[in-house]
């Protein structure tokens, strides 16, 4: 067998670099064929995204654009396209190609015409809102089947008015216009998608508006061959689809690193003083206030804001604390490095402090020089080009596709506070002696429970996002977790961690397959925020105690090297497991052990919800 | 290079990109009959890329006939060099 050529990490982005955004479709097509020539099997698993597209019009040409935009973000996108016009059939049939493909993300690209065209010609106008809502029923029947038998998330676009109405100037007086039909359909779609945990609305109308309706559709290819989207709309949709794919794979941005002068405010603080910088209700300055507001919206969704800036620290902090128009305050920042050292080292230090991989961080800095320098030093970091004109900052930040946050839990909203508490913990560590003294002083308490209705969302999120302390890095979607939660052949443990400085929330999960003799750890993972407290030992001790009580004599486990989980590599050996001939790790249970750490106190689960509802409904 | 030569060079590039064939293989005689990747969908996309690139709109009758490099070049000449 010929060995596979070695996959060069930069080859995906290099192919995409030859296709500037806005290129004609033929350029995308040619680049996609270059991607075809990279053998799929040579691409490392973490870079591969399986993306299914189900459409009501011709989408083959779009797949090339999608693959190239994926490559631009460092993803190798494998695509599955449902046969023409078969989107409902594919959803309704668990034996269809869609289900066999096991997608990470499924996009439904539907043209509203297919839903109501027949009705429209038979019986205009569609006066009744329930009738319009009823047209969506088959679609939701399909989504119900997918909920039970499918994988990953589903993203459905909203409906659009593709052209100007010819219904006349009196149409606004009637409820039976095309615009009403579209509005009703979108209202039903939004309400019904919002009630489901892992379906999302794709803002196609918004993208069409951004591209411009006159440029978003190619009516010639639409009528000649049902290729409705123009080259420009294909590019815009693909870029946004890639954002969803990044998020579904746990590769979205978790932390934004911000510069200060001419980024968060206008002017140079050190030269102009706090009264001289541009920040306020009037121009110049109002554009920076708007930009800060957008950043705070992202922070509320759980994306961390940090500052890395060349300023005098005291002066900059004073501006953040006391400037009357400042929206981003010190308490919104999870970390900061304000000094005169080089930015790459400072960003590395922020990454270490927050325990976040550089590939999950994004730099916003107005200086092309700094961006170029950091890009050279830290190629993993996301460093988008940004507009030179601050009036465009607020618009620009909304277009960054790596800033999509799928799950929004109570933990997300609190995350910045948790990192700030961690700052106090670090200060405390400096003041005490041995590690055990330090840990005792933290007054760590854990609450171990089996997964329940109010923790399912957080468990799925942890499975999707935890890269470092994760023995097997298996991602499971919500239907899988729900199935397992109610099946006797699985036990899903959750652990909440609290210490004297604050509540980390639900931060560890163990998925155990309890056999009669051997209990197997299918997944065992812990958020990086609680690494270094030995709470993982507590969770393992609890699993072992339960196994012993159930009559089992041994535990087994696996360690699957993902390239990111080195911190978890010694865990099994350190807890008495030895590797067997089957490459699995085994540990006889005996009479006792692994021992519960003496400095960790166990709290009895209260049954009170610690997880708030996920997506707003 | 004359305007016609430049046009022909750009047509070759577009054919190579859309049909995924090596540039040197495209020239007089290259046609849908010999290129396996010249499918009906690729034909549709090729025509729309030619229209976008050269700012022309082909008639339905022309679209059916644009099945070789030579015919594309001459159809473009008819649109762009009237008279």
Residue A80 has pLDDT above 50, yes or no: yes
Q: Tokens 């109308």 identify what position?
A: A205
Residue A238 has pLDDT above 80, yes or no: yes
- Residue A365 · residue A315 · CB < 8 Å: no
Instruction: Tell me how far the alpha carbon of residue A193 is from its chain's centroid.
Output: 18
Q: Residue ranges of the domains in chain A?
A: 11-248, 255-403, 431-603
Average model confidence (pLDDT) for chain A? 87
Residue A613 has pLDDT above 50, yes or no: no
> In angstroms, what CA-CA distances link A283 with A17, A390, A397, B40?
37, 11, 19, 55
Instruction: Give the relative orientation of helices A343-354 and A368-377 as an angle to the nearest 10 degrees.
Output: 60
> Are A30 and B16 a contacting pair at CB < 8 A?
yes
Predicted confidence band at A562 (pLDDT cuts at 50, 70, 90)? confident
Rounded to whole angstroms, how far apart are CA atoms A406 and A520?
30
Pairs of CB atoms within 8 A across A/B: 43
Choose from A134-138, A298-302, A503-507, A613-617 the range with maximum mean pLDDT.
A298-302
What is the CA angle A311-A299-A47, rounded to 5? 100
Of B17, B53, B63, which is closest to A29 when you measure between CB atoms? Answer: B17
DSSP letter for each residue of A221-236:
HHHHHS--B-HHHHHH
The reported pLDDT for the residue numbered A167 is 76
Exposure b/e, A562-599, CB count within 10 A at least 16 = b: beebebbeebbeebbbeeeeeebbbbebeeebbebbeb
pLDDT, mean of residues A401-429 = 71
Residue A1 has pLDDT above 80, yes or no: no
The reported pLDDT for the residue numbered A426 is 65
> Are A220 and B48 a contacting pair at CB < 8 A?
yes
Q: Answer whether B16 touches A (CB < 8 Å).
A: yes
DSSP letter for each residue of B25-83:
G-STT-BTTT-TT--HHHHHHHHHHHHHHHT----HHHHHH--BHHHHHHHHHHHHS--
Domain annotation for chain B: domains and CATH numbers: 3-80 (1.10.1200.10)
Q: What is the pLDDT of residues B15-58, one digit of tens each?
A: 999 999 999 999 999 999 989 999 999 999 999 999 999 999 99
Rounded to whole angstroms, how far apart are CA atoms A276 and A274?
5
A83-87, A172-176, A287-291, A514-518: least confidently modelled range: A172-176
Q: What is the pLDDT of residues A313-348, one digit of tens each?
A: 999 999 999 999 999 999 999 999 999 888 999 999
Rounded to whole angstroms, how far apart are CA atoms A55 and A14?
30
Q: What is the pLDDT of residues A272-314, one digit of tens each?
A: 889 999 999 999 999 999 999 999 999 999 999 999 999 989 9
pLDDT, mean of residues A354-379 = 92
A255-403: what fold? Rossmann fold (3.40.50)
CATH number, domain A431-603, options 3.30.70.120, 2.40.50.100, 3.40.630.30, 3.80.10.10: 3.40.630.30
Bigger pLDDT: A181 or A119? A181
The reported pLDDT for the residue numbered A5 is 59
Predicted confidence band at A608 (pLDDT cuts at 50, 70, 90)? very low
Evaluate whether A11-248 and A255-403 have a shared fold.
yes
Residue A547 has pLDDT above 60, yes or no: yes
> Are B41 and A225 a contacting pair at CB < 8 A?
yes
Chain A residues within an 8 Å CB radius of B52: 24, 231
> Are A24 and B52 a contacting pair at CB < 8 A?
yes
> Are A25 and B14 a contacting pair at CB < 8 A?
no
> In angstroms, what CA-CA distances link A307 with A185, A215, A266, A397, A427?
43, 39, 16, 16, 20
Predicted confidence band at A555 (pLDDT cuts at 50, 70, 90)? very high
CATH superfamily, domain at A11-248: SGNH hydrolase (3.40.50.1110)
Q: Tokens 């707003």 identify what position?
A: A616
Q: Which residues contact A459 (CB under 8 A, 6 or more apart)?
A: A451, A481, A492, A494, A506, A509
Q: Kindly report the nearest CA distance between residue B81 and chain A, in angstroms.
A: 23
Residue to substitute from A26, A81, A235, interface B, most B β-carbons within 10 A: A26
DSSP-derived pairing of the beta strands A578-579 and A585-588? antiparallel
Q: What is the pLDDT of residues A438-489, one digit of tens each?
A: 678 778 899 999 999 889 989 999 998 888 889 999 999 999 999 999 898 9
pLDDT, mean of residues A54-80 = 95
Predicted confidence band at A615 (pLDDT cuts at 50, 70, 90)? very low
Strand positions, DSSP E, A393-490: 444-450, 469-470
pLDDT, mean of residues A161-183 = 78
- Extract the tokens encoding A124: 């205009």
> Are A225 and B49 a contacting pair at CB < 8 A?
no
DSSP letter for each residue of A234-291:
HHHHHHHHHHHHHHHTT-S--EEEE--BTTTBBS-HHHH-TTTSB-SSSTTTHHHHHH
Residue A357 has pLDDT above 70, yes or no: yes
Q: Kindly report the nearest CA distance between residue B4 and chain A, in angstroms.
A: 21
> Are B45 and A231 a contacting pair at CB < 8 A?
no
Residue to substitute from B45, B46, B49, B54, interface A, most A β-carbons within 10 A: B45
A589 - beta bridge partners?
none
Q: Answer whether B67 touches A (CB < 8 Å).
A: no
Predicted confidence band at A610 (pLDDT cuts at 50, 70, 90)? very low
A200 - beta bridge partners?
A155
- Residue A210 · residue A230 · CB < 8 Å: no
Give the 3-state secondary structure of residue A531: coil
Q: Within a 10 A sphere around the Cβ of A427, how many other Cβ atoms?
A: 10
Q: Which residues contact A129 (CB under 8 A, 6 or more apart)?
A: A184, A187
Q: Is A321 exposed, middle or buried (0-12, 13-18, 19+ CB in 10 A)?
A: exposed
Chain A residues within an 8 Å CB radius of B61: none
> Are B41 and A58 a contacting pair at CB < 8 A?
yes
> Are A25 and B16 a contacting pair at CB < 8 A?
no
Rounded to whole angstroms, how far apart are CA atoms A554 and A572?
13
Q: Kindly report the nearest CA distance between residue B44 and chain A, in angstroms.
A: 7
């Amino acid at each position: 067998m010929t060995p596979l050529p070695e996959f060069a990490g930069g080859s995906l982005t290099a192919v995409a670099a030859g296709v500037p955004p806005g290129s004609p479709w033929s350029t995308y097509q040619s680049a996609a064929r270059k991607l075809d020539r990279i053998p799929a099997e040579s691409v490392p698993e973490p870079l591969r995204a399986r993306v299914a597209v189900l459409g009501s019009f011709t989408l083959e040409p779009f797949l090339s654009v999608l693959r190239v935009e994926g490559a631009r973000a460092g993803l190798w996108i494998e695509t599955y396209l449902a046969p023409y016009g078969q989107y409902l059939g594919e959803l309704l049939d668990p034996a269809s190609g869609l289900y066999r493909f096991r997608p990470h993300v499924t996009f439904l690209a539907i043209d509203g015409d297919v839903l109501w065209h027949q009705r429209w010609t038979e019986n205009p106008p569609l006066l009744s809102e329930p009738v319009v809502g009823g047209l969506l029923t088959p679609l939701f029947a399909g989504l119900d089947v997918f909920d039970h038998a499918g994988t990953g998330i589903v993203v459905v676009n909203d409906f659009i008015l593709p052209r100007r109405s010819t219904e006349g100037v009196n149409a606004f007086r009637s409820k039976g216009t095309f615009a009403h039909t579209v509005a009703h359909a979108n209202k039903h779609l939004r309400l019904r998608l919002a009630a489901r945990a892992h379906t999302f609305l794709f803002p196609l109308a918004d993208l069409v508006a951004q591209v411009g309706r006159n440029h978003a559709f190619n009516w010639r290819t639409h009528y000649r061959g049902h290729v409705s989207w123009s080259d420009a709309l294909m590019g815009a949709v693909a870029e946004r689809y890639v954002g969803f794919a990044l998020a579904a794979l746990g590769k979205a941005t978790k932390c934004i690193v911000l510069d200060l002068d001419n980024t968060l405010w206008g002017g140079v603080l050190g030269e102009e003083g706090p009264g001289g910088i541009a920040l306020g209700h009037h121009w110049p300055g109002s554009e920076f206030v708007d930009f800060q507001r957008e950043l705070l919206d992202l922070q509320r969704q759980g994306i961390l804001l940090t500052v890395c800036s060349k300023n005098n620290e005291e002066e900059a902090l004073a501006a953040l604390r006391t400037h009357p128009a400042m929206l981003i305050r010190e308490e919104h920042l999870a970390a900061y490095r304000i000094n005169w050292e080089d930015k790459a080292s400072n960003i590395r230090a922020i990454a270490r402090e927050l325990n976040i991989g550089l590939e999950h961080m994004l730099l916003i800095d107005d200086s092309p020089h700094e961006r170029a320098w950091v890009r050279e030093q830290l190629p993993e970091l996301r460093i988008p080009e940004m507009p030179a004109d601050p009036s465009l900052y607020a618009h620009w930040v909304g277009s960054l596709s790596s800033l999509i946050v799928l799950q929004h839990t109570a933990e997300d909203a609190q995350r910045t506070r948790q990192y700030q508490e961690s700052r106090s913990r670090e200060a405390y560590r400096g003041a005490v002696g041995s590690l055990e003294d330090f840990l005792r002083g933290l007054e760590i308490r854990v609450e171990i429970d089996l997964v329940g209705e109010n923790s399912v969302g957080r468990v799925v999120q942890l499975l999707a996002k935890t890269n470092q302390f994760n023995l097997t890095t298996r991602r499971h979607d919500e239907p899988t977790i729900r199935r397992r939660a109610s099946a006797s052949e699985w036990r899903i443990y959750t652990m909440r961690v609290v210490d004297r400085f604050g509540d980390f929330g639900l931060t560890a999960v163990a998925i155990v397959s309890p056999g009669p003799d051997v209990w197997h750890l299918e997944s065992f993972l812990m958020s990086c925020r609680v690494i270094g407290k030995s709470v993982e030992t507590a969770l393992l001790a609890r699993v072992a105690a339960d196994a012993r009580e159930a009559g089992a004599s041994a535990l087994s486990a696996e360690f699957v090297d993902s390239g990111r989980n080195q911190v978890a590599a010694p865990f099994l050996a350190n807890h008495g497991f030895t590797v067997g001939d089957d490459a699995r790790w085994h540990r006889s249970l005996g009479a006792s052990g692994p021992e519960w750490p003496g400095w960790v106190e166990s709290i009895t689960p209260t049954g009170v919800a610690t997880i708030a509802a996920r997506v707003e409904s | 290079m004359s305007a016609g030569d430049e046009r022909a060079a750009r047509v070759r590039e577009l054919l190579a990109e859309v049909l995924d064939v090596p540039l040197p293989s495209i020239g007089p005689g290259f046609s849908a009959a010999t290129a396996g990747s010249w499918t009906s969908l690729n034909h549709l996309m090729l025509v729309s890329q030619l229209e976008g690139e050269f700012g022309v709109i082909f008639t339905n009758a022309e679209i059916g006939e644009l099945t070789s490099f030579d015919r594309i070049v001459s159809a473009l000449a008819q649109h762009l060099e009237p008279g």
